[in-house]
Amino acid sequence: TAHTDTGMCAQAAALTAQAERQTSTAQWDLSAAGTTLARTTAIRLGETIGPADVQQELPGIERLERLREALAILTIGTAHTHGQLAWFLSSATVTLTPVLRWRALTADERQSFGTVVPTSEEFTDAENAVRHVRTALSHITAHEEPTSPALPQPATRDL
């Protein structure tokens, strides 16, 4: 399947362009905690989805596992913030939701719950979408210094 304007990568590129416009025109100013969360999310996405040449050498089941992990990273980030950063992360998650309908194993159609085996091009499109999101998160936080932890720590009480 060829890349189209409706592909995940194209959607992620449009989303990230919007985020970069908002930050460059001061319509979106991340808090210190938001900056740290965005940076941590970018790092984790980069660790999960590697360079294209490395990803393409992986078996389909591992590529799918890594894409699902990227979705989890975005979802966890959304759960730990609010406002524009949450909206950006949730929009990135929505862009990648077709991955949730993919499977890497052969299965009888009656037992596969409507899942499909993606093509190599679809894997690449989704991986490039994650790279767009990671790059945008890195760019929008490049000028800020984080001062608080990326994810809230559990509250502890002195007894």
Residue 81: predicted pLDDT: 96
Q: Which domain holds residue 95?
A: 35-141
DSSP letter assigned to residue 156:
-
Spatial CA neighbour of 8 closest among 103, 117, 113, 131: 131
Q: Phi and psi (nearest 5°) for 116?
A: -135, 155
CA distances, 93 to each of 53, 67, 87, 99 (Å): 24, 11, 10, 10
Task: Specify if 28 maps to a domain.
Answer: no
* Structural domain count of the chain: 1
DSSP letter assigned to residue 84:
H
pLDDT digits (tens, 9 = 90+) for 93-136: 999 999 999 999 989 988 999 999 999 999 999 999 999 999 99
Spatial CA neighbour of 48 closest among 67, 28, 23, 34: 67
Q: Which residues of the chain have pLDDT under 70?
A: 1-6, 143-159
Q: What's the whole-model pTM score?
A: 0.85
Task: Specify if 9 maps to a domain.
Answer: no
Residue 142: predicted pLDDT: 84
Task: Specify if 14 maps to a domain.
Answer: no
Element (H, E) at 21: helix 8-24
Residue 143: predicted pLDDT: 57
Residues, the chain: 159
Task: Specify if 122 maps to a domain.
Answer: yes
The alpha-helical segments, DSSP class H, found in 25-59 are 32-48, 52-57
Residue 6: predicted pLDDT: 59
Residue 150: predicted pLDDT: 46
Task: Specify if 155 maps to a domain.
Answer: no
Task: Specify if 6 maps to a domain.
Answer: no
Spatial CA neighbour of 45 closest among 125, 138, 119: 138
